[in-house]
Amino acid sequence: MKNISILVLLAGLLGLGTASCEPEYDTPPIPSIPEGKLITIDTLWAWYAAGGSQSITEDYSLYGVITTDESTGAFYKEAYIQDGNRGIRLRMTASSSLTIGDSVRIYLKGTYLDMYNELIQLDSVNPDDNIIIQSNGNTITPLNLDITDLSAVETIGTQDFYTYQSRFVQLDGVEFGSTGVTWADAVNQFSVNHNLNDCNGGTVLIRASGYANFAGDVVPSGNGTFLGIMGVYGTDIQMYARTPDNLTMDGSRCGAISCDPVAALSETFASFTNGGTADEACWETVATVGSMKWSISNISGDNLAQGSILGTSDSSNEMWLISPEITYAGTNILSFQSAVQNWNHDGLSVYILTNYSGNPNSATQTAITGATIAGSSSGNNTLVSSGNINISSFISSGNYRIAFKYNASGVGGQTSTYKVDNVILTQ
Protein backbone atom coordinates (compact mmCIF):
# COMPACT_ATOMS: atom_id res chain seq x y z
CA MET A 1 0.00 0.00 0.00
CA LYS A 2 2.82 2.39 0.86
CA ASN A 3 4.64 1.81 -2.31
CA ILE A 4 1.43 2.37 -4.22
CA SER A 5 0.86 5.73 -2.48
CA ILE A 6 4.35 6.90 -3.35
CA LEU A 7 3.79 5.96 -6.98
CA VAL A 8 0.50 7.83 -7.11
CA LEU A 9 2.15 10.91 -5.57
CA LEU A 10 4.97 10.81 -8.07
CA ALA A 11 2.50 10.46 -10.92
CA GLY A 12 0.60 13.49 -9.72
CA LEU A 13 3.76 15.61 -9.46
CA LEU A 14 4.77 14.59 -12.92
CA GLY A 15 1.33 15.57 -14.18
CA LEU A 16 1.64 19.01 -12.63
CA GLY A 17 5.08 19.45 -14.04
CA THR A 18 3.98 18.72 -17.60
CA ALA A 19 0.65 20.56 -17.56
CA SER A 20 2.31 23.92 -18.09
CA CYS A 21 4.47 22.74 -21.00
CA GLU A 22 3.38 23.23 -24.63
CA PRO A 23 2.80 19.75 -26.11
CA GLU A 24 5.05 18.65 -28.92
CA TYR A 25 3.69 16.39 -31.64
CA ASP A 26 5.67 14.10 -33.85
CA THR A 27 5.53 15.07 -37.50
CA PRO A 28 4.54 12.00 -39.51
CA PRO A 29 7.09 11.05 -42.09
CA ILE A 30 6.30 12.01 -45.67
CA PRO A 31 6.10 8.78 -47.66
CA SER A 32 8.86 8.51 -50.19
CA ILE A 33 8.24 6.04 -52.98
CA PRO A 34 10.86 5.76 -55.69
CA GLU A 35 9.91 6.80 -59.17
CA GLY A 36 12.39 4.90 -61.25
CA LYS A 37 11.97 4.76 -64.98
CA LEU A 38 8.69 6.12 -66.36
CA ILE A 39 6.66 3.92 -68.69
CA THR A 40 3.11 3.94 -70.07
CA ILE A 41 0.23 1.47 -69.92
CA ASP A 42 1.04 0.72 -73.54
CA THR A 43 4.40 -0.57 -72.35
CA LEU A 44 2.69 -2.94 -69.92
CA TRP A 45 0.59 -4.34 -72.78
CA ALA A 46 3.76 -4.87 -74.82
CA TRP A 47 5.47 -6.57 -71.88
CA TYR A 48 2.57 -8.98 -71.49
CA ALA A 49 2.45 -9.67 -75.23
CA ALA A 50 6.15 -10.51 -75.20
CA GLY A 51 6.47 -12.40 -71.93
CA GLY A 52 3.04 -13.28 -70.55
CA SER A 53 2.46 -13.09 -66.79
CA GLN A 54 5.41 -11.64 -64.92
CA SER A 55 6.51 -10.04 -61.68
CA ILE A 56 7.84 -6.49 -61.87
CA THR A 57 11.00 -6.41 -59.79
CA GLU A 58 12.63 -3.13 -60.85
CA ASP A 59 11.87 0.54 -60.23
CA TYR A 60 9.25 1.61 -62.77
CA SER A 61 6.36 4.07 -62.53
CA LEU A 62 3.46 5.13 -64.71
CA TYR A 63 1.04 8.04 -64.53
CA GLY A 64 -2.68 7.95 -65.22
CA VAL A 65 -6.15 8.99 -64.11
CA ILE A 66 -8.47 6.81 -62.04
CA THR A 67 -11.81 6.14 -63.80
CA THR A 68 -13.61 4.07 -61.12
CA ASP A 69 -13.82 4.00 -57.35
CA GLU A 70 -15.40 1.88 -54.61
CA SER A 71 -17.95 4.45 -53.42
CA THR A 72 -21.02 2.68 -54.84
CA GLY A 73 -19.92 -0.89 -54.15
CA ALA A 74 -19.89 -1.67 -57.85
CA PHE A 75 -16.12 -2.22 -57.62
CA TYR A 76 -14.22 -3.75 -54.70
CA LYS A 77 -10.46 -3.75 -54.16
CA GLU A 78 -10.01 -2.74 -57.77
CA ALA A 79 -9.81 0.37 -59.89
CA TYR A 80 -9.43 1.18 -63.55
CA ILE A 81 -6.82 3.63 -64.74
CA GLN A 82 -6.08 5.10 -68.13
CA ASP A 83 -3.52 7.37 -69.72
CA GLY A 84 -3.70 8.93 -73.15
CA ASN A 85 -4.01 5.75 -75.15
CA ARG A 86 -4.66 2.75 -72.94
CA GLY A 87 -6.48 1.50 -69.90
CA ILE A 88 -5.72 -1.24 -67.40
CA ARG A 89 -7.34 -2.79 -64.37
CA LEU A 90 -5.63 -2.43 -60.98
CA ARG A 91 -6.29 -5.36 -58.68
CA MET A 92 -5.38 -4.21 -55.19
CA THR A 93 -4.41 -5.95 -51.97
CA ALA A 94 -6.92 -3.88 -49.96
CA SER A 95 -9.70 -1.35 -50.38
CA SER A 96 -8.54 2.14 -51.19
CA SER A 97 -9.75 5.72 -50.88
CA LEU A 98 -9.12 6.45 -54.54
CA THR A 99 -11.81 8.54 -56.22
CA ILE A 100 -12.76 9.05 -59.84
CA GLY A 101 -10.61 11.79 -61.34
CA ASP A 102 -7.55 11.18 -59.16
CA SER A 103 -4.33 11.70 -61.07
CA VAL A 104 -1.92 9.11 -59.70
CA ARG A 105 1.53 7.65 -60.03
CA ILE A 106 1.68 3.89 -59.82
CA TYR A 107 4.99 2.52 -58.54
CA LEU A 108 5.24 -0.85 -60.24
CA LYS A 109 7.91 -2.68 -58.25
CA GLY A 110 6.32 -5.56 -56.36
CA THR A 111 3.24 -5.76 -58.58
CA TYR A 112 2.35 -8.58 -60.92
CA LEU A 113 1.33 -8.20 -64.57
CA ASP A 114 -1.05 -10.88 -65.78
CA MET A 115 -4.29 -11.58 -67.60
CA TYR A 116 -7.59 -12.56 -65.99
CA ASN A 117 -10.07 -14.12 -68.42
CA GLU A 118 -8.56 -12.19 -71.34
CA LEU A 119 -8.41 -8.87 -69.46
CA ILE A 120 -4.90 -7.47 -68.91
CA GLN A 121 -4.45 -6.39 -65.30
CA LEU A 122 -1.86 -5.17 -62.82
CA ASP A 123 -2.24 -7.41 -59.78
CA SER A 124 -1.00 -7.18 -56.17
CA VAL A 125 -1.12 -3.37 -56.12
CA ASN A 126 -0.75 -2.10 -52.55
CA PRO A 127 -2.74 1.16 -52.17
CA ASP A 128 -0.24 2.48 -49.60
CA ASP A 129 3.03 1.29 -51.11
CA ASN A 130 2.33 1.54 -54.84
CA ILE A 131 -0.04 4.48 -55.37
CA ILE A 132 0.75 8.17 -54.95
CA ILE A 133 -2.08 10.62 -55.59
CA GLN A 134 -0.88 13.67 -57.51
CA SER A 135 -4.13 15.67 -57.72
CA ASN A 136 -7.91 15.27 -57.44
CA GLY A 137 -10.98 16.09 -59.49
CA ASN A 138 -9.46 15.80 -62.93
CA THR A 139 -11.94 15.72 -65.82
CA ILE A 140 -12.13 12.44 -67.69
CA THR A 141 -13.55 12.62 -71.20
CA PRO A 142 -15.13 9.31 -72.24
CA LEU A 143 -14.21 7.67 -75.50
CA ASN A 144 -17.32 7.95 -77.71
CA LEU A 145 -17.87 4.63 -79.48
CA ASP A 146 -20.59 2.55 -81.10
CA ILE A 147 -21.34 -0.93 -79.76
CA THR A 148 -19.74 -2.43 -82.87
CA ASP A 149 -16.50 -0.54 -82.13
CA LEU A 150 -16.06 -2.39 -78.83
CA SER A 151 -15.05 -5.58 -80.62
CA ALA A 152 -12.05 -3.90 -82.28
CA VAL A 153 -8.93 -6.07 -81.90
CA GLU A 154 -5.27 -5.30 -82.48
CA THR A 155 -2.24 -7.53 -82.65
CA ILE A 156 0.77 -6.85 -80.43
CA GLY A 157 3.59 -9.22 -81.15
CA THR A 158 1.76 -12.45 -81.81
CA GLN A 159 -1.21 -11.81 -79.52
CA ASP A 160 -4.58 -10.22 -80.15
CA PHE A 161 -6.11 -7.82 -77.60
CA TYR A 162 -9.37 -5.93 -77.45
CA THR A 163 -8.27 -2.37 -78.20
CA TYR A 164 -10.61 -0.51 -75.86
CA GLN A 165 -10.52 -2.80 -72.85
CA SER A 166 -10.47 -0.96 -69.49
CA ARG A 167 -11.29 2.38 -71.15
CA PHE A 168 -13.99 4.80 -69.97
CA VAL A 169 -16.51 4.65 -72.82
CA GLN A 170 -19.64 6.53 -73.90
CA LEU A 171 -22.31 4.73 -75.94
CA ASP A 172 -25.07 6.88 -77.46
CA GLY A 173 -28.48 5.78 -78.74
CA VAL A 174 -28.65 2.65 -76.60
CA GLU A 175 -31.26 1.02 -74.36
CA PHE A 176 -31.62 -1.97 -72.06
CA GLY A 177 -33.17 -5.00 -73.73
CA SER A 178 -35.46 -5.63 -70.75
CA THR A 179 -37.25 -2.95 -68.77
CA GLY A 180 -38.74 -3.10 -65.29
CA VAL A 181 -35.85 -5.25 -63.99
CA THR A 182 -33.30 -4.37 -61.32
CA TRP A 183 -29.61 -3.87 -61.95
CA ALA A 184 -28.73 -6.96 -59.89
CA ASP A 185 -30.04 -9.26 -57.15
CA ALA A 186 -29.70 -7.00 -54.11
CA VAL A 187 -31.28 -9.53 -51.72
CA ASN A 188 -28.89 -12.38 -52.46
CA GLN A 189 -26.12 -10.04 -53.65
CA PHE A 190 -25.78 -11.83 -56.96
CA SER A 191 -24.41 -10.08 -60.04
CA VAL A 192 -26.62 -9.94 -63.15
CA ASN A 193 -25.95 -9.53 -66.88
CA HIS A 194 -28.20 -7.36 -69.05
CA ASN A 195 -28.29 -6.78 -72.79
CA LEU A 196 -27.70 -3.22 -73.91
CA ASN A 197 -28.87 -2.66 -77.48
CA ASP A 198 -28.56 0.02 -80.11
CA CYS A 199 -31.17 0.62 -82.82
CA ASN A 200 -29.10 -1.17 -85.49
CA GLY A 201 -29.02 -4.64 -83.95
CA GLY A 202 -25.83 -4.16 -81.90
CA THR A 203 -25.71 -5.70 -78.41
CA VAL A 204 -23.26 -5.65 -75.52
CA LEU A 205 -23.50 -7.13 -72.02
CA ILE A 206 -23.87 -4.91 -68.97
CA ARG A 207 -22.53 -6.57 -65.82
CA ALA A 208 -23.87 -5.22 -62.52
CA SER A 209 -22.68 -6.25 -59.05
CA GLY A 210 -25.12 -7.47 -56.42
CA TYR A 211 -23.09 -5.50 -53.86
CA ALA A 212 -23.62 -2.15 -55.58
CA ASN A 213 -25.77 0.31 -53.66
CA PHE A 214 -27.95 0.59 -56.78
CA ALA A 215 -28.36 -3.19 -57.24
CA GLY A 216 -32.04 -3.02 -56.28
CA ASP A 217 -32.84 -0.04 -58.49
CA VAL A 218 -34.69 -0.55 -61.77
CA VAL A 219 -32.59 -0.09 -64.91
CA PRO A 220 -33.48 2.91 -67.12
CA SER A 221 -36.39 2.20 -69.46
CA GLY A 222 -35.56 4.69 -72.22
CA ASN A 223 -32.98 5.19 -74.91
CA GLY A 224 -29.97 7.45 -74.43
CA THR A 225 -26.36 7.58 -73.30
CA PHE A 226 -24.56 4.89 -71.29
CA LEU A 227 -21.24 5.66 -69.60
CA GLY A 228 -19.07 2.88 -68.25
CA ILE A 229 -15.90 0.85 -68.34
CA MET A 230 -15.30 -1.72 -71.03
CA GLY A 231 -14.30 -5.06 -69.60
CA VAL A 232 -13.56 -8.49 -71.01
CA TYR A 233 -14.50 -11.86 -69.55
CA GLY A 234 -13.43 -14.78 -71.68
CA THR A 235 -15.07 -14.30 -75.06
CA ASP A 236 -17.59 -11.75 -73.72
CA ILE A 237 -17.22 -8.00 -73.90
CA GLN A 238 -18.83 -6.46 -70.83
CA MET A 239 -19.59 -2.92 -69.79
CA TYR A 240 -19.59 -1.85 -66.14
CA ALA A 241 -21.69 1.06 -64.92
CA ARG A 242 -20.02 3.20 -62.26
CA THR A 243 -23.32 4.71 -61.06
CA PRO A 244 -26.77 5.18 -62.64
CA ASP A 245 -26.36 8.89 -61.89
CA ASN A 246 -24.00 9.06 -64.90
CA LEU A 247 -26.65 7.81 -67.31
CA THR A 248 -29.12 9.80 -69.39
CA MET A 249 -31.52 7.22 -70.78
CA ASP A 250 -35.01 8.71 -70.85
CA GLY A 251 -35.56 9.11 -74.58
CA SER A 252 -37.92 7.21 -76.89
CA ARG A 253 -36.92 3.58 -77.39
CA CYS A 254 -35.87 2.19 -80.75
CA GLY A 255 -38.77 2.23 -83.18
CA ALA A 256 -40.92 4.34 -80.89
CA ILE A 257 -42.36 7.64 -81.97
CA SER A 258 -42.33 10.61 -79.65
CA CYS A 259 -45.91 11.56 -78.86
CA ASP A 260 -45.22 15.09 -77.70
CA PRO A 261 -47.91 17.64 -78.65
CA VAL A 262 -47.82 18.60 -82.31
CA ALA A 263 -48.62 21.93 -83.95
CA ALA A 264 -50.20 20.46 -87.08
CA LEU A 265 -51.53 17.23 -88.61
CA SER A 266 -51.26 15.75 -92.08
CA GLU A 267 -52.42 12.17 -91.71
CA THR A 268 -53.11 10.03 -94.79
CA PHE A 269 -52.71 6.69 -92.93
CA ALA A 270 -50.38 5.58 -95.73
CA SER A 271 -47.75 4.36 -93.24
CA PHE A 272 -50.25 2.36 -91.18
CA THR A 273 -50.54 -1.42 -91.50
CA ASN A 274 -53.42 -2.46 -93.76
CA GLY A 275 -55.70 -4.78 -91.77
CA GLY A 276 -54.27 -3.70 -88.42
CA THR A 277 -55.78 -1.47 -85.78
CA ALA A 278 -55.44 2.28 -86.26
CA ASP A 279 -53.27 2.87 -83.20
CA GLU A 280 -49.99 3.80 -84.85
CA ALA A 281 -48.01 7.04 -85.11
CA CYS A 282 -49.48 8.39 -81.83
CA TRP A 283 -53.08 7.86 -82.94
CA GLU A 284 -55.27 5.86 -80.56
CA THR A 285 -58.38 3.76 -81.03
CA VAL A 286 -60.60 3.10 -78.03
CA ALA A 287 -63.70 0.90 -77.77
CA THR A 288 -66.10 2.34 -75.16
CA VAL A 289 -69.00 0.02 -76.10
CA GLY A 290 -68.41 -3.44 -77.56
CA SER A 291 -65.07 -4.90 -78.62
CA MET A 292 -64.44 -3.54 -82.10
CA LYS A 293 -61.90 -0.75 -82.76
CA TRP A 294 -61.03 1.39 -85.73
CA SER A 295 -58.89 -0.51 -88.22
CA ILE A 296 -57.00 0.26 -91.43
CA SER A 297 -58.62 -0.68 -94.73
CA ASN A 298 -57.89 0.11 -98.35
CA ILE A 299 -59.76 1.69 -101.27
CA SER A 300 -57.97 1.31 -104.62
CA GLY A 301 -54.57 1.22 -102.93
CA ASP A 302 -55.33 4.12 -100.57
CA ASN A 303 -55.08 3.32 -96.85
CA LEU A 304 -57.71 4.88 -94.58
CA ALA A 305 -59.18 4.38 -91.11
CA GLN A 306 -62.35 2.28 -90.93
CA GLY A 307 -65.11 1.94 -88.34
CA SER A 308 -67.18 -1.21 -88.83
CA ILE A 309 -69.01 -3.88 -86.84
CA LEU A 310 -68.70 -6.52 -89.55
CA GLY A 311 -67.40 -9.77 -88.14
CA THR A 312 -68.57 -9.19 -84.56
CA SER A 313 -71.48 -10.49 -82.54
CA ASP A 314 -71.62 -7.35 -80.38
CA SER A 315 -75.16 -5.97 -80.25
CA SER A 316 -73.89 -2.38 -80.28
CA ASN A 317 -70.58 -0.60 -80.69
CA GLU A 318 -69.02 2.75 -79.91
CA MET A 319 -65.43 3.23 -81.01
CA TRP A 320 -63.19 6.29 -81.09
CA LEU A 321 -60.31 7.24 -83.39
CA ILE A 322 -58.25 9.83 -81.51
CA SER A 323 -55.50 12.02 -82.95
CA PRO A 324 -52.17 12.90 -81.34
CA GLU A 325 -52.31 15.79 -78.88
CA ILE A 326 -52.31 19.19 -80.59
CA THR A 327 -51.00 22.52 -79.31
CA TYR A 328 -53.81 25.06 -79.67
CA ALA A 329 -53.46 28.05 -81.97
CA GLY A 330 -56.27 30.45 -82.80
CA THR A 331 -55.57 29.96 -86.49
CA ASN A 332 -55.96 26.13 -86.47
CA ILE A 333 -58.04 24.92 -89.43
CA LEU A 334 -59.24 21.29 -89.65
CA SER A 335 -60.30 19.35 -92.72
CA PHE A 336 -60.79 15.64 -93.40
CA GLN A 337 -62.49 13.26 -95.81
CA SER A 338 -65.06 10.59 -94.99
CA ALA A 339 -66.71 7.78 -96.92
CA VAL A 340 -69.52 5.34 -96.20
CA GLN A 341 -70.08 1.78 -97.40
CA ASN A 342 -73.55 0.16 -97.50
CA TRP A 343 -75.20 3.11 -95.83
CA ASN A 344 -78.16 2.44 -93.53
CA HIS A 345 -77.46 4.93 -90.74
CA ASP A 346 -75.41 8.05 -89.98
CA GLY A 347 -72.74 6.54 -87.75
CA LEU A 348 -69.89 9.08 -87.77
CA SER A 349 -69.46 12.20 -85.63
CA VAL A 350 -66.46 14.38 -84.84
CA TYR A 351 -65.35 15.90 -81.55
CA ILE A 352 -62.66 17.99 -79.94
CA LEU A 353 -61.38 16.30 -76.77
CA THR A 354 -59.69 18.25 -73.99
CA ASN A 355 -58.43 16.88 -70.68
CA TYR A 356 -58.03 13.49 -72.34
CA SER A 357 -56.21 10.78 -70.35
CA GLY A 358 -57.12 7.54 -72.12
CA ASN A 359 -60.92 7.41 -71.81
CA PRO A 360 -62.79 9.72 -74.20
CA ASN A 361 -65.92 9.53 -72.05
CA SER A 362 -63.96 11.03 -69.14
CA ALA A 363 -62.63 13.88 -71.29
CA THR A 364 -64.36 17.14 -72.13
CA GLN A 365 -66.15 16.51 -75.44
CA THR A 366 -66.99 19.36 -77.79
CA ALA A 367 -68.94 18.31 -80.88
CA ILE A 368 -67.71 19.76 -84.16
CA THR A 369 -70.71 21.00 -86.10
CA GLY A 370 -70.87 22.25 -89.65
CA ALA A 371 -68.56 19.60 -91.14
CA THR A 372 -69.78 17.74 -94.23
CA ILE A 373 -69.82 13.98 -93.54
CA ALA A 374 -70.61 11.14 -95.96
CA GLY A 375 -74.25 9.99 -95.68
CA SER A 376 -77.24 8.52 -97.49
CA SER A 377 -76.69 10.50 -100.67
CA SER A 378 -72.98 9.69 -100.94
CA GLY A 379 -71.70 7.12 -103.38
CA ASN A 380 -70.39 3.85 -101.96
CA ASN A 381 -66.76 4.35 -100.78
CA THR A 382 -66.70 7.85 -102.26
CA LEU A 383 -64.58 10.27 -100.23
CA VAL A 384 -66.41 13.44 -99.20
CA SER A 385 -64.53 16.55 -98.09
CA SER A 386 -65.54 18.08 -94.76
CA GLY A 387 -64.73 21.65 -95.68
CA ASN A 388 -62.55 23.91 -93.55
CA ILE A 389 -63.35 23.99 -89.85
CA ASN A 390 -62.03 26.79 -87.63
CA ILE A 391 -61.08 25.23 -84.30
CA SER A 392 -61.36 28.58 -82.53
CA SER A 393 -65.12 28.42 -83.13
CA PHE A 394 -65.28 25.60 -80.58
CA ILE A 395 -62.44 26.11 -78.07
CA SER A 396 -60.24 29.06 -77.20
CA SER A 397 -57.17 27.59 -75.48
CA GLY A 398 -55.44 24.46 -74.20
CA ASN A 399 -54.07 21.37 -75.87
CA TYR A 400 -56.63 19.15 -77.52
CA ARG A 401 -57.25 16.14 -79.78
CA ILE A 402 -59.48 15.50 -82.77
CA ALA A 403 -61.69 12.44 -82.23
CA PHE A 404 -63.86 10.53 -84.70
CA LYS A 405 -66.64 8.54 -83.00
CA TYR A 406 -68.33 5.64 -84.78
CA ASN A 407 -71.62 4.22 -83.48
CA ALA A 408 -73.36 1.10 -84.77
CA SER A 409 -75.94 -1.45 -83.67
CA GLY A 410 -76.33 -4.89 -85.16
CA VAL A 411 -79.62 -5.41 -83.37
CA GLY A 412 -80.98 -2.10 -84.65
CA GLY A 413 -79.83 -2.72 -88.19
CA GLN A 414 -77.41 0.23 -88.05
CA THR A 415 -74.40 -1.36 -89.67
CA SER A 416 -73.01 1.21 -92.10
CA THR A 417 -69.22 1.10 -92.43
CA TYR A 418 -67.53 4.52 -92.17
CA LYS A 419 -64.08 5.52 -93.33
CA VAL A 420 -61.86 8.54 -92.60
CA ASP A 421 -58.86 9.80 -94.54
CA ASN A 422 -56.62 12.84 -95.13
CA VAL A 423 -56.96 14.47 -91.71
CA ILE A 424 -55.31 17.87 -92.10
CA LEU A 425 -54.90 20.48 -89.38
CA THR A 426 -52.98 23.61 -90.24
CA GLN A 427 -51.50 26.21 -87.92
**How high is the pLDDT of residue 217?**
94
The whole domain housing 200 covers 161-251
The domain that contains 106 carries what CATH number?
Answer: 2.40.50.140
DSSP of 176-234: ESS-S-BSSBTTTTB-EEEEEEETTS-EEEEEE-TTSTTTTSBPP-SEEEEEEEEEEET
81 lies in a domain? yes
pLDDT in tens, 241-253: 999 998 999 888 8
My answer on whether 290 and 230 are in the same domain is: no
pLDDT in tens, 313-324: 777 899 999 999
pLDDT in tens, 279-325: 988 999 999 998 889 999 999 899 999 999 987 777 789 999 999 99
Tell me the C-alpha to C-alpha distance, in Å, between residue 111 and each of 86, 114, 129, 232, 299. Answer: 18, 10, 10, 21, 76
My answer on whether 281 and 419 are in the same domain is: yes
Residue 19: pLDDT band (50, 70, 90) is very low
Of residues 231 and 30, more confidently modeled: 231
At residue 1, does pLDDT exceed 70?
Answer: no
My answer on whether 245 and 287 are in the same domain is: no
256 lies in a domain? no
* Average pLDDT of the chain to the nearest whole number: 91
At residue 14, does pLDDT exceed 80?
Answer: no
**How high is the pLDDT of residue 16?**
36
109 lies in a domain? yes
My answer on whether 287 and 366 are in the same domain is: yes
What does the H/E/C string look like for 327-339?
A: CCCCCCEEEEEEE
My answer on whether 132 and 186 are in the same domain is: no
For the chain, how many structural domains are there in total? Answer: 3
The domain that contains 290 carries what CATH number?
Answer: 2.60.120.200
pLDDT in tens, 47-102: 999 999 999 999 999 999 999 999 999 999 999 999 988 999 999 999 999 999 99
My answer on whether 276 and 359 are in the same domain is: yes
Which of residues 251, 279, 312 is at a domain's end? 251
My answer on whether 99 and 184 are in the same domain is: no
257 lies in a domain? no
My answer on whether 270 and 314 are in the same domain is: yes
My answer on whether 220 and 362 are in the same domain is: no
Residues of the chain with pLDDT > 70, as a percent, come to 93
150 lies in a domain? no
Segments in 1-159 forming alpha helices (H): 2-19, 41-51
**How high is the pLDDT of residue 171?**
97
At residue 410, does pLDDT exceed 90?
Answer: no
Of 114-128, 202-216, 254-268, 356-370, least confident by mean pLDDT is: 254-268
**How high is the pLDDT of residue 164?**
98
**How high is the pLDDT of residue 2?**
34
Give dist(CA 360, CA 287) in Å, integer. 10
123 lies in a domain? yes
My answer on whether 126 and 166 are in the same domain is: no
**How high is the pLDDT of residue 31?**
55
**How high is the pLDDT of residue 12?**
41
Strands (E), 345-400: 348-354, 364-367, 384-385, 389-390
* CB contact at 8 A, 67 and 164: no
